[in-house]
A and B are shown apart, each in its own frame.
Chain A
Amino acid sequence: MRFITYLGQYLQYMAEVLRKPDKGKMFRKQVFMEMDHIGLNSFGIVFIISIFMGAVLAIQTAAQTDNPLYPGYLIGFAVRESTILEFSPTIVSLILAGKVGSRIASEVGTMRVTEQIDALEIMGVNSANYLVGPKIIAASIVNPALIIVSIFLSLVGGWGSTYIADVVAPNEFLSGLQMWFVPYEIFYALIKTVVFAIIITSVSGFQGYIIKGGALDVGKASTKAVVYSSILIILFNLLLTKLLLV
């Protein structure tokens, strides 16, 4: 029962978020600012995670197929497939849910408890739209770009690891990377990423938006934002994979 009210509240909030902005110019300015916040500030963590993710993926795949009959290029191929299909879009989105989600929830939540949201409303601004709309748009643009970079870096990491770990010949790995490439898989990865971006920003914004009370509740909301958006990412991952890949 409580879930139904909660869902109803979320849908009502989304209806506000998706309204036409009160003032296009101010809204666009927010979008650019958010792109900067989400994109540039997340680049570092995406960089590090992707490189190491690719390296570990390459070494593990090689370790599991330690069989002289198994051609080395298959390792490159396997690393590319799992990076594009799963690791970059899903793992990186989960990391971003932690980083971006908690920031959004505490930012919006603080604005709620200090009456800044009321101040927006009294000026006649649709606060949900003004605060959360730009974040959704910004993340839907920036996150796919981050994922593309992440895929690239992960493959670089995998390739780099072949020099260090000596599990497969680097050029065999490289030719594996280029084998049987299906462009649709990139499309699939990007669709997933955009859906995850919408989940992260809207759910986290929602957690902050509905706070009643004080600073303590802001902390709780940002924890909830991370937990709920992560769970939803996992669920939608399954759903989208079923819909788009089979």
Chain B
Amino acid sequence: MIEAREVTKRFDGTDVIEDISVKFEQGITNLIIGQSGSGKTVLMKCLVGLHEVDDGAVYFEDTNFTQMRRHQRKSLRKQMGMLFQGGALFDSLNVEQNVRFPLDLYWNSSYKEKLERVNFCLEKVDLAGVNDKMPGELSGGMVKRVAIARAIALNPKFLFCDEPTSGLDPKTAKRIDKLIYDLTSEFNMTTIMNSHDMNSVLEIGYNIAFIYRGKLWWTGTKEEILESDNEELNDFIYTNEMIKRFKNK
């Protein structure tokens, strides 16, 4: 479980996210949704400590992550995997080296064992055999999948995905959603995923937090979201005019 308690983050004096308290459960896919610019990425980076929060605190299980010092955080970092919005694969390394990078950092085992783990992770994301390709030679969907493989290399307890499906066609997007969902239940991870894709919400939104202009506006599940009468949330969900009218009837 991961919990944000009254988290606030400011840039140059303005609150980008404000007083957010929310819990993310283990074993299911937790979604943070909201418009572009609403503060999803900033919130996620606060959770993982890439941004220091200005107020409030972040808890992993029952330990206060915000108050930890650098070396204490490091042991928790081993248990975190993160997929960045653009993939963030290391340009100068090939696929295998990218996925092996966290293993090289924390495993003291032989190359053969690491390679086995790399191949296992690549198989999980359906990319067996692309070991020698450079990131520049991959398609957008492949980049995201390699990034997922790298994120799960150390078998993390906590998985963070920043818009894993943005910029992908609906079919590939669905595949990635399913992949993240399956990995989450298989390894009983606490997964947090940013999205503004309604398909993802309806597929795997078991615990949803809707962020509106930096504030937590609504929480619920994928079943509840369609029944909600929250105006801003409905505005976000029903972008299509026709569906909106249909809903209002």
Give the interface of A toward B (CB within 8 A). Answer: 22-23, 25-26, 110-111, 114-116, 118-119, 121-125
Contacts and interface: CB of A to CB of B under 8 A. Distances in A.
Contact of B88 (A22, A23, A26, A115): A115
A125 B84 contact: no
Interface stretch (B23-31, B100-108, B175-183): B100-108
Contact of A122 (B50, B89, B104): B50
A119 B90 contact: yes
A26 B48 contact: no
B53 interface: no
Given A23-B104, A23-B105, A110-B91, A124 B77 contact: yes
Nearest to B102: A123
B85 interface: yes
Interface string B58-102: 000000000000000110011010101110111100000000011
B102 to A, nearest CB: 5
B151 to A, nearest CB: 9
A116 B143 CA distance: 13
Contacts of A123: 77, 101-102, 105
Contacts of B45: 118
A113 B217 CA distance: 30
A118 B88 contact: yes
A123 B86 CA distance: 17
Given A23-B105, A26-B105, A118-B50, A124 B86 contact: no
B48 A122 contact: yes
Interface of B: 45, 48, 50, 73-74, 77-78, 80, 82, 84-86, 88-91, 101-102, 104-105
Given A23-B105, A26-B105, A116-B88, 7 more contacts: A114-B86, A114-B91, A115-B85, A116-B89, A116-B91, A118-B84, A119-B88
Contacts of A25: 104
A116 B77 CA distance: 16
23 contacts: A23-B105, A26-B104, A111-B90, A114-B86, A114-B88, A114-B91, A115-B84, A115-B88, A116-B88, A116-B91, A118-B50, A118-B88, A119-B82, A119-B84, A119-B90, A121-B50, A122-B48, A122-B82, A123-B101, A123-B105, A124-B73, A124-B77, A124-B105
Contacts of B102: 123
A119 B45 CA distance: 11
Per DSSP, chain B at the interface is: mixed
Taking chain A's interface residues, is the majority helix, strand, or loop, or is none over half, making it mixed?
A: helix
A122 B48 CA distance: 7
A121 B49 CA distance: 9
A15 to B, nearest CB: 12
Residue of A25, A110, A122 with most partner-chain B CB within 10 A:
A122
A116 B90 contact: yes
A114 B101 CA distance: 17
Contacts of A114: 86, 88, 91
A194 B50 CA distance: 34
B84 A22 contact: no
B77 A122 contact: yes
Given A110-B91, A114-B88, A22 B105 contact: yes
A125 B70 CA distance: 11
A124 B50 contact: no
Nearest to A119: B88
A122 B104 CA distance: 15
Contacts of B88: 114-116, 118-119
Nearest to B76: A124
A110 B48 CA distance: 22
A22 B102 CA distance: 12
A119 B101 CA distance: 11
B78 A124 contact: yes
Contacts of B82: 118-119, 122
Interface centre among A23, A110, A119 (most CB of B within 10 A): A119
Contacts of B91: 110-111, 114, 116
Given A115-B86, A116-B88, A116-B91, A122 B80 contact: yes
A62 B237 CA distance: 82
Contacts of A111: 90-91
Most buried by A among B74, B88, B102, B104: B88
Contacts of B73: 124
Given A114-B88, A115-B84, A124 B74 contact: yes
B40 to A, nearest CB: 14
A56 to B, nearest CB: 38
